[in-house]
Amino acid sequence: MMSSIMINVSKEFARMPCVRSRKDGPQSGEEFRDDILIPALRDNERVTVDLNGVIALGSSFLDEAFGGLVREGVYTAQDLHRKLTINFSLQSYVNEAWGYIDSARRRA
């Protein structure tokens, strides 16, 4: 049986996820990626990140949370296209998140 999980960002993490790194403040993309998203991806074959319900969403959060998975060498973009679904009523933010994933390069 294929395991899957849905992460409702507004209920399980933050209603205004806007900053990039932990040093920038609470509810950062780095915190979401490291503490919630990576464990979910590691423990499940499919992960859906539901952004509906957030009242603000920062580009720096999206880049660090999603593009950071590739930059930090945790997953490849190909892995993420197979394992990850991003849902949000504003498709432009979903496209932006996938853009960060697809353009990210692993740090040497």
Residue-level pLDDT at 2 = 74
**Would you state the pLDDT for residue 107?**
75
What is the predicted pLDDT for the residue at 1?
62
Give φ, ψ of 41 to 5 degrees: -65, -35
The full set of domain ranges for the chain reads 4-103
pLDDT at 106: 83
CB 75 within 8 A of CB 42: no
Question: What per-residue confidence (pLDDT) applies to 67?
Answer: 98
* 8 Å CB contact between 73 and 44: no
Q: pTM score, two decimals?
A: 0.95
Blockwise average pLDDT, block size 10, the chain, 108 residues: 92 96 97 98 97 96 98 96 98 98 87
Give the chain's radius of gyration (CA, Å).
Answer: 13
The one-letter amino acid code at 62 reads: L
Query: With the C-alpha atoms ordered 104, 8, 95, 55, is the resulting torsion angle positive or negative?
Result: negative
